[in-house]
């Protein structure tokens, strides 16, 4: 996608054995969007738990080190993670990280996380410390064939920060997987395979093809009416200037948002058409 050239590449910190460098850099840039999306995700997830009357399967796209699952499952904040992982000048051990999450008082046993990312090391960390039941290292846009047909019945799909790096093809491939799953089930089980989607997208990205994809597969995608969410500070003046230029070229007013030095995102929810 053309817009990607304006964003700084953080690949080097996504592929470490520990989230230490990732959290250190994200703290420097005031990356706090998971704190903003957390209550939105939890509200939707809890509604699904109440409806289905069982624990639900949540697939986190672009999950990295399992930030969303740690916040949702253990009632933590980004600052809580910083205090644990960044308290010393070196990363905590894998065992200490596992114990940190295990000892949390507020554990939501109704949220089972399954994660998809392109960083095998980040996914391995998440699995080892108990932040997900299972994970798959795959590029959803190009290597979706690696997703097994029996991946799991998906109840909810979330994504924070990766939409734009991945686009409509990732959703199209997920919908194809869901169609395969439904074809293997009896009619009595069909209602279980209509997942709810919830994700944030930076204002600079065009979402029209994503809207078209959801419509094609019988889903309604809606942008939630609420103030745009701050994602993080611009890494430098070049990133800011290019982002503002891109937004202005699209006729998007940045006065109350990106002009303050931050990326901003909107929140979307996709559900089956009734």
State pLDDT tens for residues 125-184: 999 999 999 999 998 888 777 777 667 678 999 999 899 888 999 999 989 888 877 666
| Cβ proximity of 58 and 156 under 8 Å | yes
Torsion angle (degrees, nearest 10) of CA 144, 146, 148, 151: -70
77: nearest Cα among 18, 44, 34:
34
Q: Is the pLDDT of residue 188 over 60?
A: no
Give CA–CA dist 116/143, Å, rounded: 12
Q: Which domains does the chain have, with CATH numbers?
A: 2-272 (3.40.50.150)
| Cβ proximity of 31 and 78 under 8 Å | yes
Residue 1 three-state SS: coil
pLDDT band at 63 (very low <50, low <70, confident <90, very high): very high
pLDDT band at 1 (very low <50, low <70, confident <90, very high): very low
| Cβ proximity of 268 and 218 under 8 Å | no
Q: What is the mean pLDDT of residues 231-260?
A: 96
Q: Which two tokens stand for residue 135?
A: 């994970």
pLDDT band at 2 (very low <50, low <70, confident <90, very high): very low
Query: Quick one: 55 exposed, middle or buried, by C-beta within 10 A (0-12, 13-18, 19+)?
Result: middle
Give CA–CA dist 81/85, Å, rounded: 6
- 211-230-269 Cα angle (round to 5): 30
- Cβ neighbours of 49 (radius 10 Å): 17
Q: In this predicted structure, which of 16-25, 68-77, 188-197, 230-239 has the lowest mean pLDDT?
A: 188-197
pTM: predicted TM-score of the whole model, two decimal places: 0.93
Amino acid 148: pLDDT: 73
pLDDT in tens, 203-224: 999 999 999 999 999 999 999 9
Amino acid 7: pLDDT: 63
pLDDT band at 39 (very low <50, low <70, confident <90, very high): very high
- Cβ neighbours of 233 (radius 10 Å): 17
Q: What is the mean pLDDT of residues 184-208?
A: 79
Q: Which two tokens stand for residue 57?
A: 């399967």
Amino acid 150: pLDDT: 66
pLDDT band at 38 (very low <50, low <70, confident <90, very high): very high
Q: In this predicted structure, which of 11-25, 92-106, 109-123, 181-195 has the lowest mean pLDDT?
A: 181-195
């Amino acid at each position: 996608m053309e817009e990607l050239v304006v964003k700084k590449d953080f690949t080097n910190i996504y592929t470490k054995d520990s989230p230490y460098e990732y959290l250190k850099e994200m703290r420097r840039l005031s990356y706090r969007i998971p704190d903003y999306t957390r209550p939105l995700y939890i509200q939707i997830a809890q509604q699904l738990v109440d409806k289905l009357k069982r624990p639900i399967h949540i697939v986190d796209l672009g999950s990295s080190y399992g930030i969303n699952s740690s916040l949702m499952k253990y009632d933590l904040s980004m600052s809580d993670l910083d205090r644990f992982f960044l308290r010393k000048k070196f990363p905590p051990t894998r065992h200490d990280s596992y114990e940190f999450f295990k000892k949390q008082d507020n554990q939501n046993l109704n949220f089972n996380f399954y994660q998809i990312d392109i960083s095998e090391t980040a996914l391995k960390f998440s699995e080892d410390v108990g932040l997900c039941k299972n994970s798959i290292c795959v590029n959803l846009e190009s290597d979706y064939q690696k997703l097994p047909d029996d991946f799991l019945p998906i109840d909810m799909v979330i994504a924070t920060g990766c939409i734009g790096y991945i686009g409509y093809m990732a959703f199209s491939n997920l919908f194809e997987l869901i169609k395969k799953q439904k074809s293997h089930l009896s009619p009595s089980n069909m209602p279980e395979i209509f997942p709810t989607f919830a994700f944030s997208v930076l204002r600079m990205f065009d979402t029209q093809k994503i809207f078209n994809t959801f419509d094609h597969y019988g889903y309604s995608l809606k942008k939630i009416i609420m103030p745009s969410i701050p994602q993080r500070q611009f890494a430098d003046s070049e990133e800011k200037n290019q982002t503002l230029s891109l937004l202005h070229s699209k006729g998007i007013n940045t006065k109350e948002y990106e002009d303050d030095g931050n990326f901003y995102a909107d929140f979307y929810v996709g559900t089956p058409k009734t």
